Amino acid sequence: MIYPVISFKNPIILTNPKISRIQERYTKLPNFQLRSTFRPSQYHNPNSNTVNKDIKSQTQLKNHFIVTNQDEVSVRKRKKRKECEESKGLSLEGFQEMLGLCGLGYWVQGFRCFPWLALNFHMAHNLNLQPSTLQLIQNSGNLPMVAKPLYGILSDALYIGGAHRIPYICIGVLLQVLSWGQLALIPVASQALPTLMACVLFSNLGASITEVTKDALVTEFGQKHRITGLQSYAYMALATGGILGNLLGGYFLLKAAPGTMFLIFSVLLSLQLAISLSAREECLGLAQPSDHILTRQSILENIRKQLSDLMIAISEDSIFRPLTWIVASIAMVPVLSGSLFCYQTQCLHFDPRVIGMSRVIGQLMLLSLTVLYDRYWKQIPMRKLIGAVQVLYASSLLLDLILVRHINLGMGIPNEVFALCFSGLAETLAQFKVLPFSVLLATLCPRGCEGSLTSFLASALCLSSIISGFWGVGLAALLGIKSGDYSRLPVGILIQFLAALLPLGLIHQVPMSQPVEKGIKRGLSKRNRRNRRIGRVVVGSVFVYRRERESEAQK
């Protein structure tokens, strides 16, 4: 006698909802299909023809079960494919809207060097400011950018008209239009130092709000549509704007007044404001505020929640350690940009065209480095890449020593040619060094904290650059560097070089490689799909065998 493998007193309890649905579908089969599986006579006459018929009927039943599953799987695949095609169509349309909005925004951000070049020449030649005073105004004007986390938290928590990104972009652009327009149309504003400083502060306030919102928008859009590396394209647009801004700025200063350049930039900002006002966040597929948030939560509660989420995100070692390194690597180096600018214009008598072209070449190098990083250098371990960039940055600072000591003239290289090729290399490497950290933090950024975290990064970088500038002002004052006396400038450049090597001792804070992006639902592999199919067939076979034995017992 053959005993049943599965007990009828303790039947299998199938807790999987999919298997329960299979059971319900199986119980709806006609009774004659259930009764034609096994009969008691099969055990006494194994050579009878009924055995073959019953085996065939059992095989047909299993095949029917498998075919039914395959039909359902094919229907699900068609539905999923249709949903994916619709989402791809929406994401493609949103991606084009994204390129038009943020691409222009980053390009205008890079083009800000166009009015700033005119402003630097205006302060150095028309207002006759000392190198330390010039550098102090440049760094003090960046103080509104230190408050970027506040703008990011407001952008994450406070919705204006059902949107929380584009309205802030419009507010920031409007502040810049008013500031540069006042410098262009009111002559007293550009001649008096207090009003000039006020316009600079309001301009940088608007620029910081716009930059924070664009960075948050890029991060949120990339996470929403699972697109990585958008920061590289933002850097490309930024470098392209810088190239054109420096190129045109050098030529415009030879034939036009600084006020004309301020007016041109104001018109460009007005165009950006018109495009931003016509954009809608619904086209980008971003999350909209729920009714619960709008009705039951106050603004202060939302801000408190965003601040708490920001603190939790920053406290993670994967974010805190690389953020500490990039901030320290910038703050440790005293920058002598004001002293070098006055030395080049007063002692070497460089005209604005040479200064502008040197920065154009620097922006071209930044664009090339960004493309190389996006195409090839992402595969390099991050710690190795950042270490190499830091060594190159420290070495590039010594190129200014060659220019100050006139070593290039001994090699037969004119000052103008040497400045065009190497003057902007250090600034280019300093800007490129930030790109891998921006990609890293955008990957690790938690959902709903895009504006807060990216603005905190931008604020920390801005604060570190301000500290670096103040270190440079103190170093220049300590060494006695001033207009007409640049004899101690080589000593300051050597101190810069040594300070740029110090962050290499903390390079272990930088992670070895980029992490895998969180929150992405990866598709099933071939092995998982095969196991899932096999699991369904096995469960179905056990269930069929159990029904066969039950029908036999009933007989």
Last residue of a domain, one of 228, 253, 284: 284
Do 243 and 208 belong together in one domain? yes
pLDDT at site 447: 77
Full domain range(s) for residue 317? 306-513
Residue 22 has pLDDT above 60, yes or no: no
Diameter over CA atoms, the chain: 117
Three-state SS sequence of 259-282: HHHHHHHHHHHHHHHHHHHHCCHH
| Positive or negative torsion for Cα 120, 121, 126, 128 | positive
pLDDT at site 80: 52
Residue 140 has pLDDT above 60, yes or no: yes
Classify residue 1 by its DSSP letter: -
Mean pLDDT, residues 264-293 taken together: 78
Do 200 and 318 belong together in one domain? no
Give Cα 158 distance to the centre of its chain: 21
Give Cα 100 distance to the centre of its chain: 17
Mean pLDDT, residues 81-89 taken together: 47
Residue 6 has pLDDT above 70, yes or no: no
Residue 309 has pLDDT above 50, yes or no: yes
pLDDT digits (tens, 9 = 90+) for 329-345: 999 999 988 888 888 88
Lowest-confidence range among 132-146, 262-276, 294-308, 383-397? 294-308
Query: pLDDT band at 541, cuts 50/70/90?
Result: very low
Do 314 and 267 belong together in one domain? no
pLDDT at site 72: 54
Contacts of 540 (CB under 8 A, 6+ apart): 22, 62, 65, 66, 69
Query: CA 548 to CA 2: how far, in whole Å?
Result: 14
Classify residue 485 by its DSSP letter: B
Residue 288 has pLDDT above 70, yes or no: no
Q: Are 286 and 450 in contact (CB under 8 A)?
A: no
Residue 40 has pLDDT above 60, yes or no: no
pLDDT digits (tens, 9 = 90+) for 172-183: 999 999 999 999
Do 222 and 357 belong together in one domain? no
pLDDT at site 261: 92
Give Cα 88 distance to the centre of its chain: 21
Task: Flag whether 237 is in a domain.
Answer: yes
pLDDT at site 17: 46
CATH code, domain carrying 402: 1.20.1250
pLDDT at site 173: 94
pLDDT at site 159: 81
pLDDT at site 81: 53
Share of the chain above pLDDT 70, in %: 72
Query: CA 524 to CA 505: how far, in whole Å?
Result: 43
pLDDT at site 287: 59
Mean pLDDT, residues 291-298 taken together: 49
Q: Are 132 and 264 in contact (CB under 8 A)?
A: no
Query: CA 257 to CA 118: how far, in whole Å?
Result: 8
Q: Are 233 and 144 in contact (CB under 8 A)?
A: no
pLDDT digits (tens, 9 = 90+) for 205-257: 999 899 888 888 888 777 777 776 677 788 788 888 988 998 898 888 888 88
Structure-model confidence comparison of residues 398 and 72, the more confident one:
398
Q: How many CA atoms lie within 13 A of 63 on its CB side?
A: 6
Task: Flag whether 48 is in a domain.
Answer: no
Do 269 and 155 belong together in one domain? yes
pLDDT at site 146: 84
How crowded is residue 257: how many other Cβ atoms within 10 Å of its Cβ?
15
Lowest-confidence range among 70-79, 306-315, 426-435? 70-79
Do 201 and 233 belong together in one domain? yes
Query: How many distinct structural domains can be found in the chain?
Result: 2
Query: CA 493 to CA 340: how far, in whole Å?
Result: 10
Mean pLDDT, residues 189-210 taken together: 89
Residue 368 has pLDDT above 80, yes or no: yes
Structure-model confidence comparison of residues 464 and 448, the more confident one:
464
Q: Show the tokens assigned to 97.
A: 């809207």
Do 259 and 332 belong together in one domain? no
Do 271 and 347 belong together in one domain? no
Do 175 and 123 belong together in one domain? yes
Task: Flag whether 188 is in a domain.
Answer: yes
pLDDT at site 35: 43
Q: Show the tokens assigned to 307.
A: 């601040």
Q: Are 370 and 435 in contact (CB under 8 A)?
A: yes
Do 264 and 401 belong together in one domain? no
- Total length of the chain: 555
Nearest to 439 by CA among 368, 382, 503: 382
Task: Flag whether 451 is in a domain.
Answer: yes
Query: CA 356 to CA 456: how far, in whole Å?
Result: 31
Lowest-confidence range among 303-312, 397-406, 429-438, 523-532? 523-532
Residue 375 has pLDDT above 70, yes or no: yes
pLDDT at site 95: 72
Task: Flag whether 423 is in a domain.
Answer: yes
Residue 19 has pLDDT above 50, yes or no: no
Q: Are 124 and 134 in contact (CB under 8 A)?
A: yes
pLDDT digits (tens, 9 = 90+) for 482-492: 877 888 999 99
Q: Average pLDDT of the chain?
A: 76
CATH code, domain carrying 167: 1.20.1250.20
Structure-model confidence comparison of residues 356 and 292, the more confident one:
356
Residue 133 has pLDDT above 90, yes or no: no
Do 244 and 365 belong together in one domain? no
Do 131 and 220 belong together in one domain? yes
Task: Flag whether 86 is in a domain.
Answer: no
Burial class (CB in 10 A: 0-12, 13-18, 19+), 139: buried
Mean pLDDT, residues 27-53 taken together: 44
Residue 362 has pLDDT above 80, yes or no: yes
pLDDT at site 137: 84
Mean pLDDT, residues 527-551 taken together: 41
pLDDT digits (tens, 9 = 90+) for 113-127: 999 988 988 888 888
Task: Flag whether 19 is in a domain.
Answer: no
Query: pLDDT band at 285, cuts 50/70/90?
Result: low
pLDDT at site 290: 54
Candidate ranges 38-42, 154-158, 543-547; pick with highest mean pLDDT: 154-158
pLDDT at site 176: 95
Burial class (CB in 10 A: 0-12, 13-18, 19+), 49: exposed
Task: Flag whether 62 is in a domain.
Answer: no
Nearest to 432 by CA among 381, 356, 367, 355: 367
